[in-house]
Each structure stands twice: as structure tokens, then as C-alpha cells.
Homo-oligomer: A and B are copies of this chain.
Amino acid sequence: MDIISEMKSFFYPRAVAVVGVSRDSWKFGSAAFLALKKFGSGLPLYPVSGRITEFMGAPVYQSIEALPDNVDLVIICLPAALVPESVRQCKQRGIRAVVVLSGGFREIGTDGGKRLEAELRMLAGSEVRVIGPNCFGVYSPGGRLTIVPGAEYPQNPGTVGFFAQSGGMTEDFCGLARDYGFTVSQAVSYGNACDVNEVDLAEYFLADERTSVVAAYLEGARNGRAFFDVVRRLAAAKPTMILKGGLTPSGAKAAASHTGSLAGSDSAWTAFFKQTGAIQVFAVEELLDAIAAFRHLPPARDDRVGVLCGGGGVGVAASDACFRAGLRMGEFDDETRSKLAKILPPTGASPHNPVDCDNPFPRPTMLKAILEILAASGAIGSIVIDKIAMSVKMRQLLGYDTQVGWVDEPWLEEIPVLIRSRYGLPVLVVQREGGEPLEGVECEAERRRLRRYYQENGVAVYPTVQRALSALARVVAYGRRKG
């Protein structure tokens, strides 16, 4: 069976059973059921327990055997010792997909835990596939499935595939994805990987047509060779970003006690990234920064950046960041510079790259004209805008004097979108965070609105110019590698 068909029951089940609900709604099994119920409107959902007959007003199935035929996926949250028997029952019942949320296996380091996991591993395979144990499960918005902390996650399926050994990292990723304006096709927390592992999931996302970008958090790969092979094929087809935990001595030690993983040496992983073409990142924010660039920017190969900013020191910081990210500042010819000089203020501004328009409140007509000159100059392949207040409301909130009369031009915020669509260049807006009085959150609300607007219209938004340029550099490097 191909991997897409094999994983279908995990990601798009007709009905789901949760084994291990209990009276205590805080317990994991109950929480899993409640999260699914809240999230998955219309997905048939069956609670299973031998100990209670009713759960939150619904009748409880007394056994796996008693479940209806449409159950494709069983989620198990029982004490570890009871898990293998339940998996056996699923197998007998012909259920092909099981997620084991329970902990208490290999990761606790005891002989008992290891034995239970070995037992699970023996049971799983061709007839029944198992995700877990010691995991948060599957968030698959298109299949109306979510992980335990994910009752409020977005319901619309996206194009980013994610898999992680850590449930907490999966939660962080899915939560932050909202801020970054993308959703996932699937996010899978696969824990100890007694059966379904990083190789299967990489194969799946490679084959899945809905997925265009792939990201992963790994502590160790059980079968390094197979993982190398699939990631090489995956990275050639889709931008693939991996956060590898445990690359330092202290991190490796923590990984061993977390998922029982052998983290592998730093140099082996450096070679892995170099040879597969997967993109290495070092923190979850960096992972999301990179994904957002691939999601919101058009493909790019030109490493020459044009910067427009409202201040000279900001421009120096952008230029330093550009170099450090491995990109170049484009050089304008005389014609471009003289065109810019004509429209820029006579003092405090600069028509060189970075273009400094003197203050964060340029008149919208000037802002648009500058960006058009930049985009048409032939000297740059992308545009970064930093320290420019990009909406009328933001200008008002920042205390900009409205007496001047011309700030009340709502099309101000549309300018980057217009440039992006007219010239097809990557356009990145740096939207600085904080700095306003703590009492009000109006700035934050406006920032979120504006960020969302840009993300929905193909303009990438970052909180610092360093992060914007690092993310852009990923896209350019990928474009160049693809040739």
C-alpha cells in the first residue's frame, strides 16, 4: 500500500474512538475527547471505557470490540500496561490506525517501560499502524482532527506539513503558526515512534499534494540512512526545514531522557543538512520565520536586496544584517539615485541603498513612488521596508501629528501589496513590536490586523530586520539550489 493510503486513516478518518475517557475531565483521555469534540464538528466520535457508561451526556462503548464499523482511528489514553492489549483488540477488530497518547514506555528508562514499548512495536506494522506512544497525536484540520491542546486551532487546512518527536514543540508550532499566517496540512506529534516514524512522515509529506512546505522537530533518527534518503528526495521537491534538538552535549543528554533518542554528533548532522539540502534552523521561531518566507513570498533567486527605511541607523542595521544573512545590498545606478533624490526630502534622507526617507511617516505618495523606483531599478531582487508606520491607525497611535492633513489616506497600507503584485518581487515588512506605553494594547491589536492583511496578500512580516533578512536568505538559497 502506498504511504498516502496507509496514512489516510490517521489524517482523514470516517470516525474516531477515544479509549480511556474517565469521570475526571482533566485526565488526558477525557481532555483528548473534549478537544476533538470541540474542534471536529460533525466528525463521529465515540468514547470507550470499561468503567463508566456515560461521558458528558454520551453513551460510552464498553470495549473496542463493540465499536461501530466506521471507526478508522482509535486514540488510546490508558495506563501504559493496558495499552498493548488495546492495540491487540484494534488489530482484531480490523482497525488500521492507532494513536497512543499514553506515556510510561521507553522514555521513562525502566525495564518495564522498555518491555511495554517492545511489545507495542511487535504488534504494530502492516495490519495496524501506531503513532506514539508518549505523544500528542495528530492535528489534521482537513480531517477535523486536533491534538489535546488544540481545541481552538484554526479549522482551515493549509499547505505546511509538520512532524515532531515532541508534543510540546508541536503545540508551540501550531500555536505560533497563527501569528505567522499559515495553517498546516497535518501536524503530527509522534513521540517515541514505536512504529510510524520520521521516515514514514517525510515520505507522506513528499507524496501529499496538499503539502508544499515541510518542517520537522527531531531529537534523533532511528534509521539514519533511510531518513537521509527520504529527506534528500523531499528537500529536492519541497522546501524542508528541520530543527534538530540535542546537538550540544547538554542538549543530547536532555534528549536521551526525553525521548530516549541518540541525538547524533553535530558534525554528522552538519553533513546531513549539507548533503540533503534540508534547511537547518536552531529555534522554533527561526523555523516559523523560514516557513513564513516560503509561504508568503514568491520564489526568488536574486540575492540583491533593496531597503527602504525611516532613519539612518536603521539602514546601517539593515545593511549589516543583509551581509550577515549572506545577501547583498543592490547598488543603484546614477539614474535611479537621481530619481530618488528628486522625491526624497532635501535633508535627513539618502537616495543610496538603504534608502532613508528621513522619518517613519513618509507621505503615501512618496512611499509608493520610492518603492516603484526601487522595483523598476533592475538593481534589486527583493524589497525590505523597516521602521515605516504602515497604516493610518498606527500613525495615529504612534502620536503622529494629524494636522498635516495627508495622513488620512487609507490606501497607505496597500502600497507593499501593490508593489508585490505589480513587480512580482518578494516584499518584506518589518513590523516592530513593543515600545508603546504598556497600558494600551491598541498598538498590538493594530499590528496583528495589519500583519494578517499582509500575510493574506503575499507580503511577509517580521518583528526585526535581522529576522526578515535571515528568512529571505532561506528563500533565495533554496531558489538558487533549485537553479
Contact = CB atoms under 8 A, between A and B. Distances in A.
A108 B347 contact: yes
A146 interface: no
A328 B168 contact: no
A438 B448 contact: yes
A248 B319 contact: yes
Interface string A57-69: 0000000000000
Interface in A428-443: 432, 434-438, 441
A179 B352 contact: no
Contact of A434 (B164, B176, B387): B176
Which of A247, A248, A328 has its CB near the most chain B CB atoms (within 10 A)?
A248
Given A313-B217, A320-B248, A179 B438 contact: yes
Contacts of A169: 311, 313-314, 317
Interface string A374-413: 0000000000000100000000000101011000000000
A246 B315 CA distance: 10
A438 B464 contact: no
Interface stretch (A89-97, A121-129, A250-258): A250-258
A438 B466 contact: no
A259 B348 CA distance: 10
A320 B404 contact: no
Interface string A96-124: 00000011100110000000000000000
Which of A104, A314, A329, A404 has its CB near the most chain B CB atoms (within 10 A)?
A314
Given A312-B259, A322-B250, A245 B172 contact: no
Contact of A319 (B104, B251, B314, B399): B251
A82 interface: no
A437 B452 CA distance: 12
A166 interface: yes
Contacts of A320: 245-248, 250-251, 254, 282
A302 to B, nearest CB: 16
A57 to B, nearest CB: 16
A285 interface: yes
Given A168-B310, A172-B435, A25 B401 contact: yes
Interface in A195-226: 217, 219
Interface in A318-374: 318-324, 328-329, 346-348, 350, 352, 354, 356
Contact of A151 (B258, B356, B399, B434): B399
A387 B168 contact: yes
Nearest to A432: B172
Given A323-B250, A432-B172, A444-B441, A313 B245 contact: yes
A283 interface: yes
A31 interface: yes
Which of A151, A258, A448 has its CB near the most chain B CB atoms (within 10 A)?
A258
Given A31-B401, A176-B434, A283-B464, A317 B452 contact: no
Given A167-B311, A248-B320, A254-B312, 8 more contacts: A25-B403, A103-B347, A152-B437, A168-B311, A168-B313, A254-B320, A258-B356, A441-B444
6 contacts: A103-B348, A172-B314, A178-B434, A219-B316, A248-B320, A254-B312
